[in-house]
Amino acid sequence: MIELQDFSVSFKSGTALRQASLAIRPGDRTGIVGESGSGKTMLAMSLMGMAPAAADLSGKLVLDGRDMTGADDRGWEALRARKVAMIFQEPMTALNPLRRVGDTVMDPLRLHLGLSKAEARARALALFEEVGIPSPVERLRQFPHELSGGQRQRVVIALALACDPELLIADEPTTALDANVALRIIDLLVRLAEERQMALLFISHDLAAVARATRDIVVMYGGDIVERGPTAEVLTTPRHPYTQGLLGARPNPVAEPRGADGKRPRLPTIPGSVPTLQDLPSGCRFSGRCPVELPVCAGTRPGSTLISATRLANCHALKQEVSA
Amino acid sequence: MKTRLPVNFLIGAVLVALVLGAAALSLVWTPHDFAQMNIKAKFGPASSTYWLGTDQLGRDVVSQLMAAARNSMTVALAAVLIGGSIGTALGLLASAIGGWVEDLVMRIADIGFAFPALLFAIMLAAVFGPSLTNAVLAISFINIPVFARVARASANQVWTREYVAAAQAAGLNRAVISWDHILPNIGAAIIVQATIEFAVAILAEAALSYLGLGAQPPAPSWGRMLSEAQTLMYLAPQLAIYPGLCIVAAVLGFGLLGDGLRDITDPRLSRER
Ligand SMILES: Nc1ncnc2c1ncn2[C@@H]1O[C@H](COP(=O)(O)OP(=O)(O)OP(=O)(O)O)[C@@H](O)[C@H]1O
Ligand code: SF4
Ligand SMILES: [Mg+2]
């Protein structure tokens, strides 16, 4: 349905996304994890045709068989909301503070589906009900500051669902919410994806959230996709050294107890820090921080190694291990 | 917000209320007909009939000042509305399109900014003859680059907000986003600027009328009252002082009100100054 082939996003300062290949089919639920700055948002924005104007894009982006690589804003505007929609991390800032939330949700309905005001309102009302907003009639007329964080995020979800997108991208949709609300939002997203046969691309720092929401997972580091496979397998038996570091000593993040603050622990820290874009090594992005690094790693980019029928990882050491 | 209103805002609001009140009142009532001459009563002192006395032609000073306030407010309002709308539209456009269009609009704004208003008004008067309309046009014109700059700078900030990304993700085009999302969110900055420019416009109108390029007789104007009184400075200095005070009160009032509004809407900005 939507496919990236060797897609790269580069800035003057460096490459934020390097030759990413990713295919999403109808009904897929895919997670993306990785430390801050690993290019998760860049990947998501690329799928919406919303990479920053300053960026150089290369590679191929195919949407429903159409090559969107050189498409301009106008070409994308017609597809956003209907093919691909996105919900954002911070529900407070993702809604215009001076606009009634009902109007915000009705905008794409009127624009893309050509509904009259009354039709759009009825549809917005149904959407509010679908995403579980209580007393939706009154809510339509309210401003964002009158709603709680969880309700705002539901409004953002309703907005994204307005034109029945085939793919919903959720970029850290629960990071700003407290734990119980986050859980309910995740379950809502999963339910909606299943009911609507909609693909879900779920980006998060929270491995437990990804485990709950997705069937497949993509692990990113330094702008590279380093490992991918079924979520449960990758999280229980990570094979790439970076994924292993990310999971730390926690083989099963789903069973991890919550901390005193009620939140699950964030990703454990890997020794060292993510280099800035300029300082990323040209070979394996993880070289320099990798505990099992080989001499070849810093200069040569590792290719994909097939671990099983459904799992891939990009690592020199792993390749030797598997072929041995 | 429990903070007290800033002093500049309060003083400004009082002065503006006085000036606007006088201007509004003059629509329905003035103590005398401002144009009514009474040669016998010329240079009259302040009295119960003529509260601030009469001028060299025996016209009531209070009535003239009130009618002049109305003239001044009308000119300033028209100029700020015209210049403000065009400037804001250009700023929004520049911000929405970006790239070379933005550069071009802003370079033109820079040129307009560097161009003295009075010079432009004198040019207009030279070509089309002195009139109040030309004065309004000249003052409107100098407002365009001011508002274009403010609108562009504020709009550029709003374009980076997540709700704008969300609107783009919903497939709204840049024109719709500019109107529905950007404009309301730069409204505060525009209103602050409009208040300050109102003060500038009042001063500009007074200056143009003083030079004979604004309000033409018998239309009353503080600037023209000032210039007419100038020749009589030794005889009747109060005739120059009253319109002068009115100009100061109006300019100061709108200036302080604008500063105060800025302090209220953007405390960060005022602390930086
Ligand atoms: N406009 C830009 N110009 C230059 N570099 C940018 C720009 N936007 C993002 N980057 C860089 O691209 C890299 C990837 O950023 P991205 O936002 O995709 O990371 P992320 O994985 O989403 O991180 P986070 O978890 O913090 O959201 C970062 O190093 C960032 O500094
Ligand atoms: S390629 Fe080398 S540096 Fe990179 S993860 Fe594998 S072993 Fe470590
Ligand atoms: Mg991100």
* pLDDT tens profile A23-32: 999 999 999 9
Q: Is residue A126 part of a domain?
A: yes
Q: Is residue B44 part of a domain?
A: no
Q: Is A98–B185 a contact, with Cβ atoms under 8 angstroms apart?
A: yes
Q: Are A143 and A101 in contact (CB under 8 A)?
A: yes
**Arithmetic mean of pLDDT, A243-264:** 59
Return the structure tokens found at B94: 């520049």
Ligand 2 centroid distance, CA of A317 (Å)? 6
Instruction: Work out how many CB contacts closer than 8 A connect A with B.
Output: 77
Strand arrangement of the beta sheet that strand A56-63 belongs to: A14-24, A2-11, A56-63, A66-67
Three-state secondary-structure class, residue B99: helix
**Arithmetic mean of pLDDT, A27-43:** 93
Split at pLDDT 50, 70, 90, the class of A253 is: very low
Interface probe, candidates A47, A98, A106, A201, chain B, greatest B C-beta count within 10 A: A98
What is the pLDDT at residue A252? 46
Spatial distance between the Cα atoms of A298 and B207, rounded to a whole number of angstroms = 72
Q: Is residue A123 part of a domain?
A: yes
Return the structure tokens found at A53: 């104007």
- Residues of A in Cβ contact (< 8 Å) with B161: 93
Rounded to two decimals, the ipTM of the complex is 0.84
- Into how many domains does chain A fold? 1
DSSP B50: S
CATH number at residue B179: 1.10.3720.10
Ligand 2 centroid distance, CA of A66 (Å)? 36
Q: Is B162–A94 a contact, with Cβ atoms under 8 angstroms apart?
A: yes
Query: What's the pLDDT tens digit per position in B21-33?
Result: 998 888 888 887 8
**Arithmetic mean of pLDDT, B149-155:** 96
- Into how many domains does chain B fold? 1
Going by their DSSP bridges, the two strands A66-67 and A14-24 should be labelled as unpaired
Q: Is residue A201 part of a domain?
A: yes
Going by their DSSP bridges, the two strands A216-221 and A304-308 should be labelled as unpaired
Q: Are A82 and A112 in contact (CB under 8 A)?
A: yes
Nearest CA to ligand 1 atom 14: A39
Q: Is A108–B180 a contact, with Cβ atoms under 8 angstroms apart?
A: no
Q: Is residue B91 part of a domain?
A: yes
Residue A218's closest CA among A3, A10, A12, A33? Answer: A33
Q: Is residue B266 part of a domain?
A: yes
Q: Is B163–A48 a contact, with Cβ atoms under 8 angstroms apart?
A: no
Identify the residues whose C-beta falls under 6 Å from ligand 1: A 11, 13, 16, 34, 36-42, 52, 54, 277
Main-chain dihedrals φ then ψ at residue A115, nearest 5 degrees: -75, 150
CA dihedral sign of residues B176, B178, B182, B184: negative
What is the pLDDT at residue B61? 85
Spatial distance between the Cα atoms of B103 and A324, rounded to a whole number of angstroms = 60
Residue B166's closest CA among A50, A278, A283? Answer: A50
**Arithmetic mean of pLDDT, B232-260:** 89
Query: What's the pLDDT tens digit per position in A177-208?
Result: 888 889 999 999 999 999 999 999 999 988 99
Atom of ligand 1 minimally distant from the CA of A40: 21
- Which amino acid does the sequence have at B195? T
Q: Are A43 and A32 in contact (CB under 8 A)?
A: yes
CATH number at residue A146: 3.40.50.300
The whole-angstrom distance between residue A279's C-alpha and the CA centroid of its chain comes to 25
More confident residue, A269 or B126: B126
Q: Residue A240 CA: which ligand is closest?
A: 2
* Residue range(s) defining the domain that contains residue A17: 2-221
Burial class from Cβ neighbours inside 10 Å (0-12, 13-18, 19+) for residue A59 reads middle
DSSP A48: T
Distance to chain A for B188, nearest Cα, Å: 12
Nearest CA to ligand 2 atom 7: A293
Residue positions counted in chain B: 273
C-alpha torsion angle, residues B155, B159, B161, B166 (rounded to 10)? 140
pTM for the model stands at: 0.85
Main-chain dihedrals φ then ψ at residue A161, nearest 5 degrees: -80, -10
What is the pLDDT at residue B219? 82
Nearest CA to ligand 2 atom 3: A287
Classify residue A223 as left (phi > 0), alpha (psi -120 to 50) or beta: left
Q: Are A24 and A30 in contact (CB under 8 A)?
A: yes
Which stretch of B98-107, B119-128, B163-172 has the lowest confidence by average pLDDT? Answer: B119-128
Which residues are bridge partners to A23 per DSSP?
Answer: A3
Half-sphere exposure of B108 (CA within 13 A, CB side): 13
The whole-angstrom distance between residue A154's C-alpha and the CA centroid of its chain comes to 17
* Residue range(s) defining the domain that contains residue B206: 7-22+70-272
Residue of B nearest to A72 (CA): B173
CA dihedral sign of residues B211, B214, B219, B223: negative
Q: What is the mean pLDDT of chain A?
A: 89
Q: Is A108–B185 a contact, with Cβ atoms under 8 angstroms apart?
A: no
Distance to chain A for B177, nearest Cα, Å: 10
Distance to chain B for A291, nearest Cα, Å: 38
Spatial distance between the Cα atoms of A289 and A294, rounded to a whole number of angstroms = 12
Return the structure tokens found at B46: 């302040």
Spatial distance between the Cα atoms of B240 and B70, rounded to a whole number of angstroms = 19
Residue A218's closest CA among A43, A9, A7, A90? Answer: A43
Return the structure tokens found at A315: 């690592």
Query: What's the pLDDT tens digit per position in A85-144?
Result: 999 888 888 999 999 999 999 999 999 999 999 999 999 999 999 999 999 999 999 999
Atom of ligand 2 minimally distant from the CA of A318: 6
Residue B269 confidence (pLDDT) above 70 = no
Q: Is residue A252 part of a domain?
A: no
Query: What's the pLDDT tens digit per position in B188-231?
Result: 999 999 999 999 999 999 998 888 888 887 788 999 888 888 88
